[in-house]
């Protein structure tokens, strides 16, 4: 569930209803006010402030397969953590490869083996958004690119990164909405489970 | 290889070089002039005019797994066929589900079982671009959305469909560039092979 | 009357002037400050906080004919309610069909008979804005589409939904400004009254 | 059926199939090549070159009710005629009010009675697109606005007119895609038939 | 002087320097904080809160010639008053014609004689921005159009009105920046003085 | 009359009708085909190929007052000549100041006296569109800026110049549509005649 | 380091780590809260509030060569000062040429000799962004243009200035992101050091 | 001189005039028609069809210093060659590093020493435009980025690459207009000559 545009009361009501029948109910873009309301309502939950996630009735087993979440810069971490935590919550093994923007390629190259081993890669970047292209050129694995709104001026709130990712010269790169860590994790999980469950 | 911006001679030269070591070398957006030049150069090839594809040293075995290519309207078929033929060339079993725009939902619903069985779905649509959302809401499989430049006026050459797809209310939908059937097929093939090769 | 850009005092002055000769004077996008000022001025009124409407000298009879207001998601409700309440205030019978986004088509299909019976349908949706196309494909009734600013990133404050609606592959769909529930209700009322008054 | 993006052969095939069971099958944006192909195929048809319409198995009775098609300038006539002819084909009585741009208001005011009598008004304009606002301010009837791509420079192929119409200060105005005379006529016909058939 | 982007201290310093040698020094977009700082500095001045103007060492004689400032709606008045007060300060006779949007043409037509007598007309409008076209069609006088940021959704902060004005079908209309009442008044004053001083 | 969007036959018909009662009937953006059709119809006319103007029943007296038309580069000359010839046809004295882009300021400064003497200045520029700002900073006369579509890449067909002109830091600059030499000349003529006729 | 999008704590942590091995560690767009946090952490530093810069372990020697930083208006000074202070911190001699917009060319021309002597010129301007073109036309030195977000309406947060600079009719002008004083200073310093170190 | 927008005759006239006093007069974007006209006029010249350059009175000495021109793909070569040939014509030593897009990083890394030795680097790329960021991260030399119009769909004629370059996460990158190889070469030459002439 996406929180913005709903009151904390509406969020709590929806979460409580869903949690009657489900564990691991996820609310994204949850501010402190939402977390407080969830706590006040007595719902068992975990709150990840950095990733702006509330997970109600959290329950996590051993993750299967492998998803790598790669991020370019410090300011991209909220979105990257949203993706990583959602993927873990959905039952996937997740490895994080952070702080590897294209202006410092060696940090990325160090993680080659991990990337080549993933069933799906979530690549998170703002500004010029070049990380997914570079990863897509390195390894033959599906890359789900997440542009972030990190940047200023001609970044236009993430449009520059979004366009760069849509125009990737590496094949095997698809793109989700700006800052949509949840969506990327969801699709990566679909792929990873298709692969992992039959091993 | 993407043909536009290169002369037929450049295209032929690159194809000939690649074909020395590879079968199934693919040239996309190939016009009749490119096909003629390839033929004149004596390269063994197949030309698919509708999909604007030249495939040099074509060689096709039994396709593995399952990719479904769904398309909304007649005018979307060149892009859909580009995706379907590329996916077949890359060794995947492909099923086509065409002419199922959201204004005629029943035609889509008839193919529910096929969609639910796919390892990856390529959903091709222009105009309001709603097809991927509807498919993503029906089945829990990775959907790779391809906006097409089909439309006029406020379609802005495919921007309307692109934005709609990026804002899909169904999770599990990622997007490639406008008219990029090749890229969608490439990623769908990556996913399908990860799943299929281990069965 | 559209409140933003006017001070509460200006709003009250205009409402008071209009209310001398009219009942059911409507102020849209009215915040709590406007409602407070209207109350302080002693104007008889109803305040609908969710729909951000103040109605001065409210007076409602039996509504004629039938307008259906359909909405895709929870976050679209303020706009949908603005449309529904305005339509009721203008003397129309209104039925609400909420929470029926295209990712959950079955909820929409359950209301087929109601939709097919309407003289006009107001279809409210944000994000990918596909609801009006789907409704327009289901029933042969005039659909007035209202894009909402619900969404983030590449939704661009409702542009994605607006463009999708303008490019609807179903005929019989026309569009009003983003979040303009009032305008859609006004036109739906014009249509419904033309039909209903002569029965 | 919308012709662009389809070959004349594809258009003829679709028209022939539809004409087996229907009269008055309409193809929009039909160039001379399409008309020639339809004639060569021996399909009974009418071709309206100005409106770029082919109508197969044309059959027209007495039109019911009243739709007014108003247009601002000479260059808007192809779109206006598309709307008027489609509306007539769909069985409506149509009156044309042409050449009444907002820079010459008196020509519009002369037609006040006709406008006030319409069940629906299709208002066609390019450039600054002000005609629908003026008509919406004059009469209390549903106005369906059609922006045209007439203009240059900052008209941006009809965007200026489209935005103006979406921001109309007159209520009761809804908008269709740029140059979409067909869509406006279709909705106007829906409205007019709802009103007229019960008289 | 344009205040935004400068601190009240910077504004006061610049005004004080200019006021040593000039009367009628104008600061536009001046908030209450600027007015307070100007007063605290002991500068003789007038503050027009509605028009967000501070005029230091104000001195006004008989205005020459005639400039008409026309405005479409209540929300456009801050910009219209900026234009009117600046024009008066610059020594012009100014007549105001307010609340005459194109949805209520008769209010505009009542002022025909005044408009036809002006040496320059400043036409202020937001939303669909049609007022300058209508005035330019009525009288053969230079019209300087000022789009305002009044509106919402697809008004895009005044872009819709700006584009409409640039595409005016009436000749004799030129345009200044969004909300730039000052600039329009300045040019109108240049024109009016060229005419008036030689009478 | 603006020719694009009309057939040569339509243009000739309109011109012939207007020429019955008027001299100096102007058709803008007239290609060679239009000129040929006008000649074939036996209408007395002048054709200015560079400015793409046909003037039917041309009749030119002594021009009154002074309008200066300034242009930045060679590629801007068609628009500048459109403005200059229209202004002359409307009975104004016109002086041309060409080839004075802001990268070569000295050429502009040489014409200071002429600029300072004008009743109105039409400033034509593409690319970065800085010429009107520089002229507006030099002389206290009304400047009507005409952005041209000259440029490439991020010029976006004249948008860069248009935006620059709307944001001029010099007051006294207003703007017309891209390439609209006619409109600028029309307004300059209105101003010049108001001044000149009373001398 | 670019501060926005990071908490003051994150900023301090990164600065402290970098300052272990480096002097002159620069944090840009630093608000008062960052400066306070840096002070509270006991890091030796200088805070330049106008330029929004924190420099940790500041150490400045004699600057080499010559960089000129030119700015158009008062509101551009924060960006210009960011550029100038960064350039000084990086070991360059810097001269400031401020308040020389193109509407007052004489102030710029007074500094001709200084501009002609620079190894690199940083030209900062908002609004119509014409300053770099004028400087590039005056002297044969590399000009790095910085558009600023100064302006309103059709300035679109600096886009107008950005586009103008990209379309400069003077060669020798390159452009950095909106408000990116740091980036311009960095490149100017690269150039200046290449020249200066070998003298 | 930039050819588009000028007739071959105008181009020849300007070139002939300039060539009276200068050698190495450069005409960019010159098509075969321009080259033919230059030859017919008997002007001594070289024509580089790939780079679309005509150089009149070509005269080339030993190039000084070092400029590296790097390009991402085959389709970027016309722009890259324009830059390289212009730089050579202006008296610089130029090394070409072609076919090194970010999806094949190893080809770029092989040229590290050459890049690190350059006084200026011109980096040419279309599509996602990531090359300048990667180079700027590798070496501490001024990088002048040239976005190209290579791409399709959401490349928007080079806007995607342009935005990516403006948002480069590597400092030391500045940008010129789309496809503006000439401008980049001009500035690179300014820098290289400042460095080289004093060695």
Q: Which residues contact H21 (CB under 8 A, 6 or more apart)?
A: none
CB contact under 8 A, E169 and D73: yes
> Could you report the per-residue pLDDT of C145-191, keeping only the tens digit for each?
999 998 999 999 999 999 999 999 888 899 999 999 999 999 999 99
- The pLDDT value recorded for residue D100 is 85
- The pLDDT value recorded for residue A199 is 47
Neighbours of chain G (3+ CB pairs under 8 A): A, E, F, H
D159 neighbourhood in chain F, CB within 8 Å: none
CB contact under 8 A, E179 and G155: no
Locate E183 and state its tokens: 């600039």
> Could you report the per-residue pLDDT of D34-45, keeping only the tens digit for each?
999 999 999 999
Task: Write out the H or E segment, with its range, that includes residue A56.
Answer: strand A53-56
Cα torsion angle, C62, C68, C74, C78, sign = negative
Chains E and H touch each other (3 or more Cβ pairs < 8 A): no
Over the Cα atoms of chain C, what is R_g?
17
CA B2 from centroid of its chain's CA atoms:
14
Residue H64, φ and ψ in degrees, nearest 5:
-100, 165
- The pLDDT value recorded for residue B199 is 47
- The pLDDT value recorded for residue E198 is 56
CB contact under 8 A, B187 and A177: no
Pick among F1, F148, F191, F198 to test the E interface (most E CBs inside 10 A): F191
Task: Write out the H or E segment, with its range, that includes residue H2.
Answer: none
Does the structure show a pLDDT above 50 at D176?
Answer: yes
Does the structure show a pLDDT above 70 at D199?
Answer: no
Euclidean distance between CA atoms H50 and G170, whole angstroms: 25
| Mean pLDDT calculated for residue range A172-177 | 96
Q: What CA–CA distances, in Å, run from C138 to B103, C110, C113, C119?
A: 7, 12, 10, 14
- Nearest CB neighbour to B154, from listed D2, D14, D162: D162
G73 neighbourhood in chain F, CB within 8 Å: 169
CB contact under 8 A, G154 and E179: no
Q: Which of E112, E118, E110 is nearest to E143 (CA)?
A: E118
Q: What CA–CA distances, in Å, run from D23 to A36, B74, D43, F59?
A: 64, 22, 11, 57
Cα torsion angle, A128, A129, A135, A140, sign = negative
* Mean pLDDT, all residues of chain D: 93
CB contact under 8 A, G168 and F127: yes
- Nearest CB neighbour to C75, from listed A6, A159, A179: A6
CB H64 within 8 A of CB H192: yes
Locate C9 and state its tokens: 């005092």
> Could you report the per-residue pLDDT of D96-144, keeping only the tens digit for each?
999 888 777 888 989 999 999 999 999 999 999 999 999 999 999 999 9
- Nearest CB neighbour to A6, from listed C74, C154, C155: C74
Closest Cα in chain D, distance from residue E132 (Å): 9
Neighbours of chain B (3+ CB pairs under 8 A): A, C, D, H
Closest Cα in chain E, distance from residue G14 (Å): 30
| Mean pLDDT calculated for residue range A92-105 | 88
H157 neighbourhood in chain B, CB within 8 Å: none
Closest Cα in chain B, distance from residue C26 (Å): 32
For chain H, which residues score pLDDT lower than 50? 199
E175 neighbourhood in chain F, CB within 8 Å: 166, 174-176
Does the structure show a pLDDT above 90 at D74?
Answer: no
Q: What is the DSSP letter of E2?
A: B
E74 neighbourhood in chain C, CB within 8 Å: 5-6, 10, 14
Euclidean distance between CA atoms A57 and A43, whole angstroms: 7
Q: Angle at Cα A64 formed by Cα A59 and Cα A69, nearest 5°? A: 90
CB contact under 8 A, C164 and B168: no
| Mean pLDDT calculated for residue range G37-66 | 93
Locate C175 and state its tokens: 């569009």
For chain B, which residues score pLDDT lower than 50? 199
Euclidean distance between CA atoms E14 and D131, whole angstroms: 47
* Mean pLDDT, all residues of chain E: 93
CB A179 within 8 A of CB A148: yes
Pick among F2, F4, F5, F126 to test the D interface (most D CBs inside 10 A): F5
For chain F, which residues score pLDDT lower than 50? 199
When pLDDT is cut at 50, 70 and 90, the band that residue G70 belongs to is very high
CB contact under 8 A, H149 and F150: no
Does the structure show a pLDDT above 60 at E199?
Answer: no
Q: Angle at Cα G106 formed by Cα G101 and Cα G111, nearest 5°? A: 85
Residue located via tokens 């200006």 = C10
Closest Cα in chain B, distance from residue A9 (Å): 22
C168 neighbourhood in chain D, CB within 8 Å: 183
Number of residue pairs across E and F with CB atoms under 8 Å? 77
> Could you report the per-residue pLDDT of E63-88, keeping only the tens digit for each?
999 999 999 988 899 999 999 999 99
> Could you report the per-residue pLDDT of H9-29, keeping only the tens digit for each?
989 999 999 999 999 999 999
Closest Cα in chain A, distance from residue C75 (Å): 5
- Nearest CB neighbour to D179, from listed B75, B150, B152: B152
G149 neighbourhood in chain A, CB within 8 Å: 153
H172: left (phi over 0), alpha (psi -120 to 50) or beta: left
DSSP string across G119-139: SEEEEEE-TT--HHHHHHHH-
**Chain E contact residues (CB < 8 Å to D):** 72-73, 101-105, 127-130, 133-134, 136-138, 151, 153-156, 159-161, 163-170
Q: Which long-range contacts (CB under 8 A, 24 or more apart) does B106-114 make?
A: B108/B70, B108/B134, B108/B135, B108/B138, B109/B138, B111/B68, B111/B70, B112/B138, B112/B139, B114/B68
CA atoms within 13 A on the CB side of C106: 2
Does the structure show a pLDDT above 60 at C132?
Answer: yes
Closest Cα in chain C, distance from residue A62 (Å): 30
**Chain E contact residues (CB < 8 Å to C):** 74-75, 150, 152-155
Q: Which of H22, H18, H42, H38 is nearest to H30 (CA)?
A: H38
The complex's ipTM?
A: 0.93
- The pLDDT value recorded for residue G199 is 47
Q: What CA–CA distances, in Å, run from H119 to C130, G31, H16, H69, H89?
A: 54, 36, 34, 11, 17
Q: Which residues contact A166 (CB under 8 A, 6 or more apart)?
A: A175, B162, B175, B176, B177, H153, H154, H160
When pLDDT is cut at 50, 70 and 90, the band that residue A84 belongs to is very high
CB contact under 8 A, C137 and B167: no
- Nearest CB neighbour to G169, from listed F127, F136, F153: F127
CB contact under 8 A, D198 and C194: no
* Mean pLDDT, all residues of chain A: 93
**Exposure letters D168-177 (e unless 16+ CB within 10 A, then b):** bbbbbbbbbb
DSSP string across G22-60: -SSEEEBS--HHHHHHHHHTT--EEEETTTTEEEES---
Task: Write out the H or E segment, with its range, that includes residue E36.
Answer: helix E32-40
Q: Which residues contact B42 (CB under 8 A, 6 or more apart)?
A: none
Neighbours of chain F (3+ CB pairs under 8 A): D, E, G, H
CB contact under 8 A, F190 and E198: no
Beta strands in H98-199 (DSSP E): 120-125, 143-147, 173-175
Euclidean distance between CA atoms G106 and G101, whole angstroms: 10
> Could you report the per-residue pLDDT of G3-47, keeping only the tens digit for each?
888 889 989 999 999 999 999 999 999 999 999 999 999 999 999
Task: Write out the H or E segment, with its range, that includes residue C135.
Answer: helix C131-138
CB H80 within 8 A of CB H150: no
Over the Cα atoms of chain B, what is R_g?
17
CB contact under 8 A, A142 and B191: yes
SS3 content of chain B, % helix, strand, coil (to 5): 45, 20, 35
For residue H141, the SS3 value is: coil
- Nearest CB neighbour to A169, from listed H73, H136, H166: H73
- The pLDDT value recorded for residue G104 is 75
Euclidean distance between CA atoms G26 and G9, whole angstroms: 16
A5 neighbourhood in chain C, CB within 8 Å: 74-75, 150
Euclidean distance between CA atoms D85 and D188, whole angstroms: 12
CB contact under 8 A, F104 and G137: yes
**Chain H contact residues (CB < 8 Å to B):** 74-75, 150, 152-155
For residue C2, the SS3 value is: strand
D74 neighbourhood in chain F, CB within 8 Å: 5-6, 10, 14
Q: Which of B72, B66, B101, B102 is nearest to B84 (CA)?
A: B66
Beta-strand pair E53-56/E45-48: antiparallel
Locate D162 and state its tokens: 């489209």
| Mean pLDDT calculated for residue range A173-197 | 95
């Amino acid at each position: 569930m996406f929180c913005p545009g709903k009151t904390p009361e509406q969020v709590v009501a929806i979460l409580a209803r869903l949690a009657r029948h489900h564990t691991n109910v996820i609310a994204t873009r949850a501010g402190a006010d939402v977390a407080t309301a969830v706590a006040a309502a007595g719902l068992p939950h975990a709150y990840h402030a950095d990733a702006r996630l509330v997970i109600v009735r959290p329950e996590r087993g051993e993750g299967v397969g492998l998803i790598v979440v790669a991020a370019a810069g410090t300011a991209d971490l909220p979105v990257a953590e949203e993706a990583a935590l959602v993927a873990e919550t959905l039952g996937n093994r997740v490895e994080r490869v952070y702080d590897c923007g294209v202006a410092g390629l060696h940090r990325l190259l160090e993680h080659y083996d991990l990337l080549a081993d993933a069933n799906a890669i979530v690549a998170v970047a703002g500004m010029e958004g070049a990380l997914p292209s570079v990863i897509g050129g390195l390894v033959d694995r599906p890359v789900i690119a997440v542009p972030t709104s990190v940047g200023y001026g001609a970044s236009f709130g993430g449009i520059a990164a979004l366009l760069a990712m849509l125009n990737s010269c590496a094949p095997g790169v698809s793109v989700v909405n700006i800052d949509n860590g949840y969506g990327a994790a969801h699709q990566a999980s679909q792929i990873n489970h298709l692969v992992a469950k039959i091993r």
